[in-house]
Chains A and B, each alone.
Chain A
Amino acid sequence: MSTATTAPVAPEEAQSVAPIVSWTAPIGLGILAVLGTITFGVFSGTKNAAFGLVDTGREASALAAWLAFAVALVAAAWLGYTWYRESRAGGSAARWVPPALAAAVVVFLLAILGVAGVTVITLSAPVIGWLASIAMLAVAGWSVWLAPRGRKLPRWAVAVFAVAFLVGFLVWIVAGGRDATPYISLAGLLAGAVTLAVPLVFGSLSGVLCERSGIVNIAIEGQLLMGAFSAAVGATVTGSVYAGLIAAAVAGALVSLVLAVVSIKYLVNQIIVGVVLNVLVVGLTNFLFSTLLTANPDGLNKPPHLGSIEIPVLADVPLIGPILFRQSLVGYLMYVAVIVVYVGLFHTRWGLRVRAVGEHPQAADTLGVNVNRTRFWNTILGGAVAGIGGSFFTLVAVDAFSKEMSAGRGYIALAALIFGRWNPIGAFLASLLFGFADNLQSVITIIGSPVPSQFMAMLPYVVTVFAVAGLVGRSRPPAMEGIPYVKG
């Protein structure tokens, strides 16, 4: 099961001889940059693409725009000053400062648009396409220049590449629509992306919790599906959405319980158990749906809807308002869960122990951590988290359970976990990206597109293959993942 051992050159061996010359990143970026230049630049056409900034059917709120403007300005100024002060003092700023500053600047620019009353931006496909192409080619060229010197691209350059690719792609694909000036609502696109990402985020957080402690969780799909089923039944029977949420968490934890008992107590291969559990849950929920739920849909499968809770004023901030401040309870729980898991894993004693158990169980055991108990409870906790994510399907998205309604999202969550490098924040961002791709696909199908929708649907999976193949930087799993710990 060890991935490193079969790689032709183990990094540790090469390190002692010479600086690592890795050509994977330059080759990957080079291919992407050339492909991007050809499609976004050469074949850009001459059309414009229009992006709506405000939700259709809603008036732009001047108050919210001014508020966002002020907050973003203050935040950007403070962050910029922090960064400047830290670098003047000789050290480098904390890792979160540069990305936070970039986010604040983006929000600030958006707020200016909002204050100026701009509701639609129209961009020229060839201009944006060539700008994005030049940026991508420049980063790829730099990466080629750095590679023989054994150095890697700085993170911000990779980020610039990703943003250039994303913007170029978005403008190109929208400009390829049927109309003379194709239009999409950027606000709707982003809000929908976050909505679609909710179960993915919960699923990948479940993966983070299990895998950081050394248990491979292929059963995310099963946990989501069981959560969806139990939420529907629980909420219908009790008539309370909160009982549905609890039922979902318990159901997810039960799936995890089987995974934990069979793999920790009986030492069965965790991947096998995960795969089998997914089949079991599909069979079980399908069977119960076809028998009990179909026989009595009103009594068992008519859960109350979990509506979205709107925070006044803030929800009207252009673009980010609906994403952050107009969510269902499950949506808000998602943000809370990401932060809690991140802080818990990386800034508490508990998290340190969990990670130690995943990386080096012998050492953790020697220092008095009960390895198998930690793994057991982490797996249970992960299952509960994924179960809550599953409740999203039946309590928020659709108001009834239907067969196999998780539709492979658990596997995408697994991909997001790997793409996000086993880090809660990374998994969150990767889930957002996949949700974005998913939503973009359905939006693009409506306006007509040069790319067949099947290829758009393929995108997250292809990106994941690139990610695990190391073209986007190596994604390293916890060292002792999937290996049972037997004391002695």
Chain B
Amino acid sequence: MTEAQQVPETAQAPLPTGPALPTPEGRGQTLLRRIATGTPMVSLLSVVLAIVIGGILMAVTNPKVATAMGYFLARPSDAITEIFRPYAALVQGSIYNWQGADLAAQLYPLAETLTVSTPLIFAGLGVALAFRAGLFNIGAQGQLIFGALFGAYVGFTWHLPIGLHLLVVILAGIVGGGIWGGIVGFLKARTGAHEVIVTIMFNYVASFLLLFLLTTPAFQRKGSTNPISPFLDQNALFPELLGPQFRLHAGFILAILVTWGVWWIVNRSTVGFEFRAVGANPNAARTAGVNVGRATVLVMALAGALAGLSGIAQVSGTEKYLSAGVAASIGFDAITVALLGRSTPWGTFFAGLLFGAFRAGGVAMQAVTQTPIDIVLVIQSLIVLFIAAPPLVRAVFGLNPRKPKSKATKRSAQSGAAA
């Protein structure tokens, strides 16, 4: 620890750079260009571009649009309404339902978005934290399953007093996910096994283990032939925040606290500094006295613990029991969440909210306009793809600087490395 504090300035992680250096162009134009080509603008444009492409895809495959296009010149409003209907349903299902009877019904979509976001945020933080140490944690899915497995078992077999039980369940989830992630870190540190491969394989191992355990008497619900566990004790559940008609639970508050905690670890603690140093340059970090192996194990265990919390948010909050589909695709969505959040804790938090809104709204959209929810996956992945390649987005919107071509490539190299 003490050696790490003496790490020279050179080992400092080169964090994503701010605005580009002023160029010899005109001053006003530089400012404009900086706003237009800066990181937040590119993120916004990426989202816009992805939504436009998704809209085109939906319009092309929608027979009603084709019909309305037939008389487009006579009455263009029909075609335009039909094109925008899915997105209207998406907003209505994720943020505000203007057709709701009372305030509760109007705000129900927002509560639903926050509920769906909660596990995404936890798992996204797990992926983001590992990214900061230069590790690709594709294994949030498996770590989530392990967290849910441990937490659920403690939740329905033990019977503890109110308050304590939930705490123990949360701890069990942290331990479960932490173990599963920690093994990956250990293998990486001791044998150099590539974490991408190991985590992908561990996802499968975890899901098959879950399938197996749900058929054993220890986990399977009594009297049920389905692979589902008993309900967790009432004491083991997160309290509902807005009463029983909403699914929103206190897990969301925990997500906010944990996001702050991860921010503190990454930016304010010695361990976090070591993580960033290892992520920036493992050789330099080792030379500066950081125990790279220890940092690798620790960061993977922490990442696993965060994903484990995501599992707890599922079994103790949203689902209330353990099933084979407990992880859904949260572990994989978490990767895109972390990428969109540029691996910063608060960025990941808001990316989680956005993708939670997509998911919650997508369900409503599928119900109202029969647009398959899979379009959400397309939009999400396009957003991440565009955000990862700022020059591509700038090229689409014609914002690339004309002359200094080398600068754009260099900058994209930086953002690629930082992502």
Contact = CB atoms under 8 A, between A and B. Distances in A.
A268 B189 contact: no
B412 A290 contact: no
A239 interface: no
B339 interface: yes
A464 B202 CA distance: 10
Contact of A468 (B189, B198, B204, B375): B198
Contacts of A284: 57, 374, 378
B336 to A, nearest CB: 6
B75 interface: no
A275 B138 contact: yes
B7 interface: no
Contact of A279 (B188, B189, B282, B332): B332
Contacts of B282: 2, 5-6
Contacts of A415: 197, 200-201
Nearest to A284: B378
Contacts of B57: 284, 287
Contacts of A267: 409, 412-413, 416
Contacts of B332: 279
A77 to B, nearest CB: 43
A290 B374 CA distance: 9
A458 B212 CA distance: 11
12 contacts: A6-B292, A262-B392, A276-B388, A408-B204, A414-B197, A414-B200, A458-B208, A461-B204, A464-B197, A464-B201, A468-B187, A469-B198
A469 B416 contact: no
A18 interface: no
Interface in A267-291: 267-269, 271-273, 275-277, 279-280, 282-284, 286-288, 290-291
B388 A272 contact: yes
Given A465-B187, A465-B198, A468-B198, A458 B374 contact: no
B376 A3 contact: no
Nearest to A464: B201
A378 to B, nearest CB: 20
Contact of A291 (B61, B336, B417): B61
Given A6-B296, A275-B335, A454 B192 contact: no
Nearest to A411: B200
Given A4-B192, A6-B188, A280-B382, A269 B377 contact: no
B381 A279 contact: yes
Contacts of A2: 282
A24 interface: yes
B61 A288 contact: yes
A63 B188 CA distance: 55
A486 B209 CA distance: 44
Contact of B194 (A5, A462, A468): A468
B63 A295 contact: yes
Interface in B392-419: 392, 409, 412-413, 416-417, 419
B147 interface: no
B33 interface: no
B336 A287 contact: no
Contact of B201 (A4, A266, A462): A462
B389 interface: yes
A76 interface: no
A287 B372 contact: yes
- Residue among B189, B201, B378, B409 with most chain A CB within 10 A: B201
Contact of B388 (A6, A218, A269, A411): A269
A269 B417 contact: yes
Interface in B323-366: 332, 335-336, 339
Contact of B191 (A7, A452, A484): A7
B197 A283 contact: no
B380 interface: yes
B197 A276 contact: no
A469 B335 contact: no
B362 to A, nearest CB: 11
B419 A272 contact: yes
Contact of B134 (A1, A272, A283, A291): A1
B388 A271 contact: no
Contacts of A408: 204
B62 interface: yes
B288 interface: no
A291 B296 CA distance: 45
A276 B212 contact: no
Contact of B193 (A218, A286, A292, A468): A468
Contacts of A8: 189-190, 293
A470 B188 CA distance: 11
Nearest to A408: B204
Contacts of B69: none
A279 B377 contact: yes
Contacts of A465: 187, 193, 197-198, 201-202, 205
Interface string B276-309: 0000001100000000110010000000000000
A106 B314 CA distance: 53
A2 B391 CA distance: 27
Nearest to B332: A279
B384 interface: yes
Contacts of A290: 372, 374
- Residue among A5, A6, A272, A461 with most chain B CB within 10 A: A6
- Residue among B202, B292, B374 with most chain A CB within 10 A: B374
A258 to B, nearest CB: 8
A455 B215 CA distance: 13
B136 interface: yes
Given A275-B335, A276-B384, A280-B378, A287 B202 contact: no
B216 to A, nearest CB: 9
Contact of B385 (A273, A411, A469, A477): A273
Contacts of A271: 136, 196
B211 interface: yes
A457 interface: yes
A266 B416 contact: yes
B391 A266 contact: yes
Contacts of A292: 61
A33 B323 CA distance: 36
Nearest to B62: A291
A469 B412 CA distance: 33
Contacts of B201: 415, 461-462, 464-465
Contact of A287 (B374, B380, B409): B374
A455 B192 CA distance: 26
Contact of B205 (A262, A414, A458, A469): A458
B344 to A, nearest CB: 16
A478 B188 CA distance: 18
Interface string A399-411: 0000000001001
Nearest to B366: A290
A295 B212 CA distance: 37
A479 to B, nearest CB: 14
B205 A461 contact: yes
Contacts of B189: 6, 8
A277 B380 CA distance: 11
